[in-house]
A and B are shown apart, each in its own frame.
Chain A
């Protein structure tokens, strides 16, 4: 049973990353109509920024948790201003191709300087050790990742669904021209949205740095799984992305326990099954 709970926890942690990443993808897709292929690369950048802050600037994990998403978010906003904005009105697939190119550049540069091996990032002192819950041993840091991700996901949901700013955002998703006519600066909102989505990915990167090592290709394979998560959940609903992300992480964890051979593929197999039964995705409207 210990092993089962341990795998469930690993599943929840992976689920946190899936949720944070697919949430960002959904937010970006809503405003920019672009599938951000560079999402895996900015996730990796988040982890690397945390690593640099610690080893070059002596800035600890807690500051990195705040600063890395901001730094990477600014990087994202520069990308949006200099490149992505020129794709408005073009076919969807150009956005995919452009961000794929950006991902190759970013990952290639990091691979040149850091190779393919992992760099260690220590767990902060306050979150070291573990708790005995009676039925299992819970490493504090892992519990923290799950709880903190959940809080960030819910905060993002609140921001978009319940605040004035979120209302503008949703309105601009539906009809940008009309929203501009009301005097709202939609291009600036688009830039900020991209920054937000990218920042969420970078935050996931910082969270994962002490668990998975900091590697240039840490996001490359992850992003494909997240795409499958997005196909399963659909990008129509924020809450849908969060729930699907966590649920698939848990299912993956359970698979690791019951049938480890399939743990790499279970999300993709589920995607196939969902497409066969309900082609629009679980929460989705028709694309």
Chain B
């Protein structure tokens, strides 16, 4: 079996330095967005998806597990946060926590079930589980079915930050994204992350070295699902609604597409991929279903000719780790 990612690059102090410089550039660029006149709603939306894609990438790019149901964490956290904010009238920070907790519990349950099978079966199981949740949310009263939960109050974060102001909301979302990104960055570079990569490359060898690979994969699944939930909770404040779209399989497919375009198993790839795909949807919104056709074509082109993705190609060309 060939590897998913470009592993001709070694992990060196220089690689770490390159990644930190890239992170600083990214953070500065994103922090300066409100001063540039770029539509902040677009960037906030892209940031939420970028975090989701990074969480997804943690599982597929470093654990080798292709989840085709990551929308279930996004949607579940979104519904629970939205419900907590609107019906229980909790403050924003607690609303986010409720969403994260829901995704955490869900990822424990679904991880316990899906991690029992490998490879292709794992993808089918996660897809089926997310479809199961889709039908449950379609019928459950608290999600309001096709309408979704609408008109969610944004409130004041920690009683100080007024989230109804776009600039304040933007920086709160940005801080949330950067925190999630740094956590994933830290996980990837930890001993845990190294073991995960070892399992991806050669599971039997990892087992023979004494690692309980199932436990590592389970933990990676829970971390990925919970972080995807964080993205879903943040998205509630941006979109001010929670709907069935976020739990649908097409959303899971979009997350896969973002990560594939940016580069599977690269640190910054999912962020770039999310911005590319969200921008594409924005500009092509008038073309109706052709957007689906274009997305499908991108899948085909990426898989056939461009498997490293944007960031993967750049990293490979300059022989840097990004």
Q: Assess the A102–B296 pair: CB atoms within 8 A.
A: yes
B297 to chain A: which residues have CB within 8 Å? Answer: 101, 105
A residues less than 8 Å from B132 (CB atoms):
265, 268-269, 272
Residues of A within 8 A of B260 (CB): 97
Which of B113-121, B153-161, B181-189 lies at the interface? B113-121
* B292 CB–A CB distance under 8 Å: yes
Task: State whether A108 touches B289 (Cβ < 8 A).
Answer: yes
Q: Which residues of chain B have a CB within 8 Å of any CB of chain A?
A: 1-4, 60, 64, 66, 68, 113-114, 116-121, 123-125, 127-129, 131-132, 135-136, 138-139, 249, 253, 256, 260, 288-293, 295-300, 302-304, 307
* 25 A-B residue pairings within 8 Å (CB atoms): A29-B120, A35-B124, A86-B304, A89-B2, A93-B66, A94-B307, A97-B302, A97-B303, A98-B304, A100-B256, A101-B295, A101-B297, A102-B296, A104-B253, A104-B296, A108-B290, A108-B296, A224-B127, A225-B131, A231-B128, A264-B135, A265-B136, A275-B114, A275-B117, A287-B117
B66 contact from A29, A96, A98, A230, Cβ within 8 A: A96
Contact with B along A199-227 (1 / 0, CB 8 A): 00000000000000000000001001101
The interface residues of chain A lying within 8 Å CB-to-CB of B123 are 35, 93, 96
Q: Which residues of B contact A98 (CB under 8 A)?
A: 299-300, 303-304
1/0 per residue A17-50: CB within 8 Å of B?
0000000000001000001000000000000000
- From A87, A89, A105, B293 is in contact (CB under 8 Å) with A105
Sample of 19 further A-B pairs with CB below 8 A, known A100-B296, A101-B295, A105-B296: A35-B120, A91-B2, A91-B4, A96-B66, A97-B260, A101-B297, A101-B303, A103-B296, A104-B299, A105-B293, A105-B297, A108-B295, A112-B289, A224-B249, A228-B124, A261-B139, A265-B136, A272-B113, A279-B117
Do A265 and B135 touch (CB < 8 A)?
A: yes
Instruction: Across the A-B interface, give the 9 residue pairs with the lowest CB-CB distance, nearest first.
Output: A101-B299, A104-B296, A108-B292, A105-B296, A108-B293, A268-B132, A279-B116, A227-B124, A228-B128
A104 pairs with B295, CB closer than 8 A: yes
User: Measured between C-beta atoms, what is the minimum distance from B200 to chain A in Å?
Assistant: 10
The majority secondary structure among interface residues of chain B is helix
Q: A101-B303, A224-B249 are in contact. Are A107 and B292 (CB under 8 A)?
A: yes
Min Cβ gap A236→B in Å is 12
The answer to whether B2 and A92 touch across the interface, beta carbons within 8 angstroms, is no
- Residue numbers in A under 8 Å from B300 (CB-CB): 83, 98, 101-102, 105
- Which residues of chain A have C-beta atoms less than 8 A from B139's C-beta? 261
Task: Determine if A271 is an interface residue (Cβ-Cβ < 8 Å).
Answer: yes
CB distance from A157 to the nearest CB of B (A): 23
B304/A83 in contact, CB under 8 A: yes
Q: Which residues of B contact A185 (CB under 8 A)?
A: none
Q: In the bound complex, do residue B129 and residue A112 qualify as a contact, i.e. CB atoms below 8 Å apart? A: no
The CA-CA distance from A117 to B19 in the complex, in Å, is 50
Which chain A residues lie closer than 8 Å to B2 at the CB level? 89-91
Report yes or no: B293 in contact with A104, Cβ–Cβ below 8 A.
yes
Q: Cβ of A127 < 8 Å from any Cβ of B? A: no
* A97 contact set on B, CB distance < 8 A: 66, 256, 260, 299, 302-303
A93–B61 CA distance with the chains assembled, in angstroms: 12
A275, B253: Cβ atoms under 8 Å?
no
Task: Flag A105-148 by CB within 8 Å of B: 1 or 0 each.
Answer: 11111011000000000000000000000000000000000000
- A96-B66 Cα distance, complex, nearest whole Å: 10
A276 within 8 A of B: yes
Pick the most buried of A91, A103, A221, A228: most chain B CB atoms within 10 A of its CB: A91
Q: How far is the CA of A35 from the CA of B126 in the complex (A)?
A: 14
Of all chain B residues, the one with the shortest Cβ separation from A106 is B296
B129 contacts A111, C-beta separation under 8 Å: no
